[in-house]
Amino acid sequence: MAKRTLDKIRHTPGSAIAANSLVLIGGQLFASSAAIAANAVGSLSRFGVFENRAKTTGEAWTENQKLYWVTGTSKLTTTVSSNAYAGRAYAVAASGATTGTIALNAPA
């Protein structure tokens, strides 16, 4: 069971989590700042601004645009579909960019 605080949770993943990853847990997205080994306790952030997060290429982001998490690709997208709400674009990102900056779990 994850111990929760306002902005971070302690989490023990069944498989390793890479540094600078986004992780969907219980329908909510969290960010890792450091790698977490499988079956080891680590810290994940629920809120904040995170740079260089994988985005779907071919989509340009405008500042404050709603972003969603695509579980199948582990990338952020502007497409709602059945994707989980992730937050808002913190900065503009070109359509050809492979990463972007997100305000994680910013109010929809």
| pLDDT one-digit tens code per residue, 20-55 | 999 999 999 999 989 999 999 999 999 999 999 999
Residue 94 half-sphere exposure toward CB, CA atoms < 13 A: 2
pTM, rounded to two decimals:
0.87
**How do residues 46-94 score in pLDDT, each as one tens digit?**
999 999 999 999 999 999 999 999 999 999 999 999 999 999 999 999 9
CB 66 within 8 A of CB 78: yes
- Residue 17: other Cβ atoms inside 10 A: 20
Tokens of 41: 């306790």
Minimal CA–CA distance to 72: which of 81, 86, 83?
Answer: 83
Cα torsion 82, 23, 88, 104: sign: positive
Classified as helix, coil or strand, 60 is: coil
